[in-house]
Amino acid sequence: MTGIHRSIVILTGAGISAESGLATFRGAGGLWMGHRVEDVATPEAFARQPEMVHAFYNARRRQLADSAIAPNAAHEALVRLEDGWAGDFLLVTQNVDDLHERAGSKRIVHMHGELRRARCTTCDRGFAWLDDLGTDTACPHCARTGSLRPDIVWFGEMPMDLERIHRALQGCDLFISIGTSGLVYPAAGFVEAAPAARTVEINLEPTSRRSMFDEHRTGPAGTLVPALVHELLQA
Ligand code: OAD
């Protein structure tokens, strides 16, 4: 990697957590009890079958509590980059797990929400939530039952903090995309929203967005991200 960069935006997807033992959405293990993620992660599915949608996210939330699940070398390298970088830095993740935070990331945006948060559709409050959710769970603020949902952005809903993300993209001169298939917008379009940036894609395999990037590195994030961070901090 050549050149001096000041402002970095990093986009991560499920692939960065794969080596921590969390299944990606569209990989071989990407189905959940025979359902495609697109058929579970929607407001319509929640309205039709709330218990099924709760069960999907409860299983994922419980998995995060498993002592075997921990940040990997890629999450840790991004913390070294954030701590050692003199310029602007923003980590945008599509992931709903908390492995970036557990590694120590601070300047982070969860554009698709967070598994370990819930939201009440009655009083509109969002809050930390570590237990299972169900249709009979009462809101700790307004006491209403049946109106809690995972604080997750479903298909057809607006991702979080898009304004802040677009401001950072506009001004950045290095954009790095890690472990995302590039199939879900608007994240898939971020590479085109950073007009002044050198763009780098890291993925286990070439993605359909490959031609949009200046540089590709093919292989596991747990190896390639620490190597790239080392280069950037040396430069
Ligand atoms: P996907 O499951 O679509 O893609 C994961 C990507 O990670 C694939 O391109 C894999 O090749 C790559 N990958 C797997 N293991 C890797 C490794 N060890 N190192 C590097 N790359 C690896 O997941 P996302 O792109 O994150 O949205 O999916 C985007 C969104 O779709 C998710 O945030 C979620 C989902 O539906 C919502 O829930 C709203």
Pick the atom of ligand 1 nearest to 221's CA: 19
pTM listed for this prediction: 0.95
CA 113 – CA 150 distance, rounded (Å): 8
pLDDT in tens, 159-210: 999 999 999 999 999 999 999 999 999 999 999 999 999 999 999 999 999 9
Please state the rounded mean pLDDT for residues 133-158.
96
pLDDT in tens, 13-35: 999 999 999 988 776 656 566 67
Active site residues: 112
CB 14 near ligand 1, within 6 Å? yes
Measured in Å, residue 182 CA sits from the centre of ligand 1 at 8
Please state the rounded mean pLDDT for residues 61-67.
94
CB 17 near ligand 1, within 6 Å? no
Measured in Å, residue 53 CA sits from the centre of ligand 1 at 20
Going by alpha carbons, the residue nearest to atom 29 of ligand 1 is: 184
